[in-house]
Amino acid sequence: MEDTSPRYITRSTIENLIVKLNLPALDPYSQDWDLEMADSSRVAEFISFYEEQVLSENERFGLMALIIASYDDFISSGNEPDLVWSKIRYYLIQDFVIHKNTILYWVLEDNEIDNCFAVTPLMRDVLATKN
């Protein structure tokens, strides 16, 4: 039976990624760390880190959440999907079990609106590929 429970980024994962990626310290009142730390100027760096480093499953999950939030900011700024998206898409599909919760968050599956997030159409394509 498939586990359908939500998955969250753990505090220890966040702390590890902060150190490894030289991100700002965690605020005691932080919520949605991946959205707060999103940085569209570092998307390529983040995906290269995902590709090149030995990461735990939790770190892969947390880092991909940060990558998608950052990529959403990138597209929201008027940029078109680029070669980096093909890498992100590849890892979302390859590691689908790890990233399913992240994909579903951005897909807005129960929402009729097509473009709530800039990245929603791209994420819907990823989900369609897996279904």
- In the chain, where are the structural domains located? 11-130
> Hey, what are 76's tokens?
């929201």
Contact indicator for 114, 67 with CB cutoff of 8 Å: no
What pTM was computed for the model?
0.93
Contact indicator for 92, 119 with CB cutoff of 8 Å: no
> What is the full per-residue pLDDT of the chain (131 aa) written as tens digits?
355 567 889 999 999 999 999 999 988 888 899 999 999 999 999 999 999 999 999 999 999 999 999 999 999 999 888 899 999 999 999 999 999 999 999 998 877 676 589 999 999 999 999 88
